[in-house]
Amino acid sequence: MAVVLVTGGARGIGLSIAQAFLESGHQVMIGDLGSSGSDWSYALASRADMQRAVSQGESIKSVELDVTRIDSCKAAVRETVDCFGGLDILVNNAGIVGSGPLADFNEAEWDRIFAVNTKGIFLMTQAALSELQNSNLAAIVNTASIAGKQGVPNMSAYCGSKFAAIGITQSLALELAANDITVNAVCPGIVGTAMWLDHLLPSNFAVTDEKKQNFEELMAKRIPLGRPQTTEDIAAAVMYLATARNVTGIALTVAGGIELN
């Protein structure tokens, strides 16, 4: 049984990752913004989201976490160790997206995207490293994106941050191999979370169910396998990467064939 810390774990992909580990018998700490959340172009996790996430049993707990602050990262690791006695697996899943033409892109928004998506991996890994070095099951999985493998128009900040996430993953895989810590990345394709439904693919539908149906119809035409990816698809890939002891330094695409490499 491993102790797992999932950042951005209160909903969406992060919540499915946390649930997958929980259902496999592991102890899980989810870290998310909660009441310290900031305004963004779509809703971020709330304290209520965190409370719902931990209502599944005694083996899942939550801690408020801002991955852009080293003190918050260290506190999340301490809380995990205090609750469960150690830390074996770190899933750096927290992330945000912003889009728009470069000529009009806001500098503060650019900095925030890199602070969460890139610096957040650095700070959380640094905060967790000493605990991971004490584990016989140590693994780090970073959530990157297919946008970290191929550029997309009007998304230079997001793509840049996710390309960086893959580069950091490869570097850390080599650096931490001597400590028997595996480091990999998962690259989600098109998943019907708030990032896509409320920001990247706005529609004329106000009702959530209609918006999701419209999204699925569009993706059926766009994705070779004929369906969008689910949060559970990404969680299954993370579970593999976190437990495959002879796999390190890879960026595993889960995208239904929309991105090939």
Catalytic residues: 158
User: Look-up: residue for tokens 């102790």?
Assistant: 3
Rounded distance between C-alpha atoms, residue 62 and residue 221, angstroms: 38
Q: How far apart are CA 123 and CA 116, in angstroms?
A: 10
Short-list 90, 86, 71, CA closest to 30: 90
And the tokens for 62? 């939550």
Specify whether the CB–CB gap between 23 and 94 falls below 8 A.
no
Q: Which residues of 234-243 are buried (b: 16+ CB within 10 A; e: fewer)?
A: bbbbbbebbb
Distance of CA 219 to the CA centre of its chain: 22
Helix (H, G, I), strand (E, B) or coil at 22: helix
